[in-house]
Structure 1
Amino acid sequence: MLPLSLLNTAQGHPMLVELKSGETYNGHLVNCDNFMNLTLREVIQTSPEGDRFWRLPECYIRGSTIKYLRIPDEIVDMVKEDNRKNGGGRGGRGGRGQGRWGNRGGNRGGRGGKQ
């Protein structure tokens, strides 16, 4: 399960975001991008000490400042079910590509000497 597919599925659902600074944001996920920047609506922001609260109609959170996200279990279950239906994620045969000369290192190497 990839984090961005989980976030895309979570759009419109409530979530908790904790920043590296200790602030927390509770709100409904509106949007996320490939850098994991988030837009939340109907947000309650909590200070790092947990003693002050602010209500915000909408906020934008830069992905690089996020420590962790808490998403409802049913969202995780939905993504797992989608992966099962679609054949399990990334697809393909797995492993790495073999490049230009297969897996042998091209025309170099071997037992020494020049080939």
Structure 2
Amino acid sequence: MLFYSFFKTLVGQPVVVELKNDLSIQGILVSVDQFLNIKLDDIRVTDEKRFPHMMSVKNCFIRGSVVRYVQLPAAAVDTALLQDATRRENAAEK
């Protein structure tokens, strides 16, 4: 649940999502659910020559199981808060 809560704080921020099939999509994070499924608006494919069929797509839904990486804006990540939340979650499990 930690990642779900963290990603919810990033709604409205630009992110880059790399999929397992090597497709990278840059867009504005609209929503995320508990399965880490992601909705993006104003998307742009980073490798347009390799994926020309994606040029006309403006928004998308990405299933969480096909995500390899999510690149976040450095300014949007509060590492101290994330570390504290990780410690609290770890202590609750014991």
Same fold (TM over 0.5): yes
1:36 corresponds in structure 2 to 36
Corresponding residue of 1:105: none
* Structure 1 runs of 4+ with >6 Å offset: none
Distance 1:82 1:49, change over 3 A: same
Which has more radius of gyration? 1
1:89 equivalent in structure 2: 85
CA drift at 1:89: 1.5
- Higher relative CO (CA 8 A, sep ≥ 6), structure 1 or 2? 2
The residue type equivalent to 2:19 in the other structure is L
Residue pair 1:23, 1:48 contacting (<8 A) in 2 also = no
Q: Which structure has more helix as a fraction of its residues?
A: 2
Cα pair distance change 1:76/1:55, threshold 3 Å: farther
How many aligned positions are there? 90
In the TM superposition, what whole-angstrom CA distance separates every residue of 1:39-98 from its partner, at most 9, and x where no partner exists? Answer: 000001345974635142210000000000000001112xx35458xxx226389262xx
Q: Closer, same or farther in 2 for the Cα pair 1:55/1:82, shift >3 Å?
A: farther
Identity level (%): 29
| Aligned mates of 1:63, 1:93 — CA distance in 2 | 23
The alignment's TM-score, normalised by the length of structure 2, stands at 0.76
**Coordinate RMSD, CA, aligned:** 2.7
Query: Does 48-57 or 5-14 show the bigger shift?
Result: 48-57
Query: What residue ranges of structure 1 are gaps of 5+ in the alignment?
Result: 97-115
Q: Work out the CA distance in 1 between the residues paired with 2:67 and 2:16.
A: 11
Instruction: Give the TM-score, by structure 1 length.
Output: 0.64
Label 1:92 to 1:41 Cα distance change in 2 as closer, same or farther (>3 A): closer
